[in-house]
Structure 1
């Protein structure tokens, strides 16, 4: 697929504690591989991949952020202009689940109010070491208005769905006019395919979100 043959670019951010598998989730999605020994992310890492939603070619630009507190001020700047966020915890480490509210409050304070957030319980392949139940993750997501999915970056279980389902929700918001696609601060950029007449732009009925990137 040509780099110029896309309808939209959508910016994602991956957040959560150190060691929950954020970088592995990115690598599995973009490169279809698992790297068990991964250096700690310093600041942010970047990956990109095309997906198709309702016949539209969408390029996902994904920013994987460091989980360490010392990098929090750096990663906060990447919240702005993110249309989608994956909030990740490790089902084998309860403290990563208990810290979710801190990450969520951070995201909602610094990102767009319309950002789609998917809660991810990662490492579902380690069922014998599970300390956070599926029901707990589901309940947290329901309480805070998030999507929810358990994944395994190792086996690739649900990794594709986590990114694509988030993109589907974002595209639905584009169609409904929730996002002002003329404002790149929303985390969405119209591709040259639409700009050159390859498709029609949705009408923005709500005025969009004018948060600066």
Structure 2
């Protein structure tokens, strides 16, 4: 998978659950690698291949091939570090991103304040990138752990409406709304004809490169 059609960056504080979100979507696992139940994507989205590797210090990269109707796409997901010492490195991954998932811990209001910072910074650098706000760890609330700010969800909804960002409340432990989040990103991407044209051009170039490589080996 040398090409990436749909570049996605994961942003947010350390420990908000970005890596768990990616692992749940890419590998169907949560921490102890046990598969979870009831994760169903839309019928017309088919997963064809998965690959994950360590990209560099503080950042993990995963690539996933998806089939949307008759369109084959390669989704590249960059899981960026959330600590301040990696901020400068994180900014380098904004360029060319078609979508950004900005995460916050549903039980910790300070992580939402930092999420707003990531949204502002991202839009100042890559203004055409679509932003998806992701509340993580819903299972903690379901288990009875209250947020440190009772008005947090209402504040997040007001912010999402005011900034035209789509909000998803997720749990990587149970899988709730994880596939729905990524499916929405895929649907938004393929709804833009320009994105599909660029993906087709990348596919043609990739096939030409493969043919040249095969000829060189023969």
Q: Deviations over 1:131-155 (max 9, x none)?
A: 1644332222111111111111111
| Other-structure match for 1:210 | none
| 1:100 positional shift | 1.9
Among 189, 200, 203, the residue aligned to 1:170? 189
SS at match of 2:93: helix
Q: Which runs of 5+ in 1 are unaligned?
A: 183-187, 197-213
Change (3 A) 1:181 1:67: farther
Matched-pair contact (CA < 8 Å) for 1:84–1:167: no
TM-score (norm 1): 0.75
| Other-structure match for 1:16 | 12
Determine whether 1:49 maps to 2:64.
yes
Q: Which is greater in Rg?
A: 2
TM-score (norm 2): 0.73
Q: CA RMSD in A?
A: 2.7
Q: Which runs of 5+ in 2 are unaligned?
A: 34-55, 208-218
Give the count of matched residue pairs.
180
Q: List aligned pairs for 1:52-201, cutoff 5 A.
A: 52-111=67-126, 113-127=127-141, 128-131=144-147, 133-173=152-192, 175=193, 177=194, 182=198, 190-192=201-203
2-structure distance, mates of 1:139, 1:54: 35
1-structure distance, mates of 2:32, 2:137: 12
The structure with the greater share of residues assigned to helix is 2
